[in-house]
Amino acid sequence: MDNFSQTIISAADKVKTAVVKIERLATVKGKEVISGTGSGFLFSSDGYLFTNSHVVHDARELKVVLYDGTRYPAVLIGEDVSTDLAILKISGGDYIPVVLGDAESLQVGELVIAIGNPLGFQHTVTAGIISALGRTVQGYGGTMIDSMIQTDAALNPGNSGGPLVNAEGEVIGVNTAIINGAQGLCFAVSINTAKEVATELIRHGKVKRSYLGLVMQQVELVPKLRAMNELRNKQALFIVKVEQGSPADKAGILSGDILYSFNDRMVETSDQLFKMLTHEKIGQFQYVGVLRNNHRQEFRLTPTEKG
């Protein structure tokens, strides 16, 4: 067997028993029926699991189907619509969870594997590469989601909430979105962002964060530009769009600017910026460093609460 196939088989084998099918239950004419399905994965031995908010939102009842076919009732611990993430809990223990990786070290072109239950076909494995990092993408309900990994690993309805895995079998993203009518454009929420969200949801049942109003993409900075501006950054965030009326718009930040710092702290990835946009920053002056026309500029803005 070739090395490429062996890599995929090995990575999928490390996580397959932690990947679950999620069923939304409804009552129709007095009978319990499955009204929708999605995917998820266990990240703790005591039954906590990730999925997407849009998979479980407003569900009357949820069931989780494990790899061996066992079905458990699931409790919604919390959901965050702005990242399309949710945490469920099933009873019992001694589960074998996935290993959560680190999205900071990802590179464009890296092999990734998606596992889920597309269209009800349980434990379907697809493979592809990372196409881009740090994307801001419109999710379900029109919410803009930051820190997205773009991949061409095929996703279909039902994959939502399943893991995106690297060649070592570590989960580096939560599969979230496809663009209708497009091929090879699939997205996952960075696992680093998902870890931050999970901590808040488990502690408080909700996530509160500050909002700038930027649509971004992670880019490499060429050595000449770094030298001209005496920057330590090797990467930064290219601003694709500024939301009208947002804090960034009011501060004068423009599409085409490149964000390299926040409050004098270097920003190379959208995950780093996400960690900085805590609820304590809401309503307080913050300073954003950008490159415009190859020169450094600093803007003062006041983040609002992200709805």
Q: Which residues are catalytic?
A: 54, 84, 160
Handedness of CA 284, 289, 293, 295 (dihedral sign): positive
Q: How far is CA 190 from CA 7, 39, 55, 142, 255, in A?
A: 22, 16, 18, 19, 23
* Number of other CB atoms surrounding residue 230 within 10 Å: 7
* Number of other CB atoms surrounding residue 233 within 10 Å: 20
Q: How far is CA 254 from CA 45, 214, 215, 216, in A?
A: 46, 9, 11, 12
Contact 11, 3 (CB under 8 A): no
Q: How far is CA 306 from CA 39, 134, 136, 211, in A?
A: 26, 18, 14, 5
